[in-house]
Amino acid sequence: AQTVTQSQPEMSVQEAETVTLSCTYDTSESNYYLFWYKQPPSRQMILVIRQEAYKQQNATENRFSVNFQKAAKSFSLKISDSQLGDTAMYFCAFMKHPEYGNKLVFGAGTILRVKS
Amino acid sequence: GAVVSQHPSRVICKSGTSVKIECRSLDFQATTMFWYRQFPKQSLMLMATSNEGSKATYEQGVEKDKFLINHASLTLSTLTVTSAHPEDSSFYICSARQTGGNQPQHFGDGTRLSIL
């Protein structure tokens, strides 16, 4: 079974600074997908970024980028130029290749607070 | 695009009442929908996977007779909490996945269920 570990329950960052959220996972699969979801106080789950395991290039979405280390089974999220609206709970998630099912396995989450 | 609507957003009812929650994909067809439960400041726990036109697949420990799932069309899945009790109070979130390839799950806004 796959497991996802987020070792940072809470983090704080000053507005405009950069912060990195860590995520590690355990799987015997070779083909899979990794995601970062954001859940602001409104409770809606918002997809931030995703990475396909077969792609070596790290995914980027504007101020959000990942450091995907497949051998180390690590998938960290870097948020640059942090904004107050980035305050939320962030979940790292794993999904096997859709051919083998579509279930997401979530980490425990990291609460990120951006301070002005 | 890829909007998922969940209704109602908040329910308060007496113990013993059955409560139905709807999850609709508004602008895409979803052969698979997922139902999650989330306790405060915790991660999402997958309850069941709902497949259009067939029986839902429940995760271990989830009572199928307690949480009835119906996925009658490609855009609608419902979760009915039968004879709800205070311990069923929680935040319930649905998600829907577009058919094909590596499409991510898109989440509804969630339903806060409070049983008195």
CA distances from B37 to A13, A80, A112, B31, B114 (A): 29, 31, 21, 21, 13
* CB contact A111 to B (< 8 Å): yes
Q: pLDDT at position B88, please?
A: 96
**Distance from C-alpha of A110 to C-alpha of A11, rounded to nearest angstrom:** 7
Residue B40 touches chain A, beta carbons under 8 Å: no
Smallest CA–CA distance from A31 into chain B, residue:
B102
User: Which chain A residues are closer than 8 Å to B93 by Cβ?
Assistant: 43, 45
pLDDT at B101 (0 to 100): 64
Rg (chain A; Cα; Å): 14
What pLDDT sits at residue B111?
A: 97
Instruction: Report whether pLDDT(B21) > 90.
Output: yes
SS3 A65: strand
How many angstroms separate the CA atoms of A46 and A87, rounded?
A: 13
Choose the closest CB to A44 out of B46, B97, B110: B110
CB contact under 8 A, A91 and B44: yes
Among the partner-chain residues B32, B104, B110, the one whose CB lies closest to the CB of A35 is B104
- Residue A3 per-residue DSSP state: E
Beta bridge partners of B80: B20, B68
Give the pLDDT band (50/70/90) at residue B36.
very high
Cβ <8 Å between B104 and A50: yes
Mean pLDDT over B40-57 rounds to 89
Closest Cα in chain B to A51: B102
Nearest Cα residue to A47 out of A109, A90, A108: A90
Tell me if A91 and B97 make a contact (CB, 8 A cut-off). no
Chain B touched by A40 (CB under 8 Å): no
Tell me what the pLDDT averaged over chain A comes to: 93
The closest of A91, A76, A85 to A38, measured between CA atoms, is A91
**What confidence tens digit (pLDDT) does each residue in A40-56 have?**
988 889 999 999 999 98
Residue of A nearest to B43 (CA): A108
Mean pLDDT of chain B: 92
Sorting pLDDT into bands at 50, 70 and 90, what band is B49? very high
Question: Is it true that the peptide bond before B8 is cis, omega within 30 degrees of 0?
Answer: yes
Tokens describing residue B33: 């929908």
**Ranges of residues in chain A whose predicted pLDDT is under 50:** none
B75 and B30 Cβ atoms separated by less than 8 Å? yes
What tens digit of pLDDT does each residue of B58-110 get? 999 999 999 999 988 889 999 999 999 999 999 999 999 877 666 788 999 99
Half-sphere exposure of A37 (CA within 13 A, CB side): 24
Q: Tokens standing for A75?
A: 């998938």
Closest residue of chain A to B47, computed from CA coordinates: A103
C-alpha to C-alpha distance for B109 and B107, rounded to whole angstroms? 7
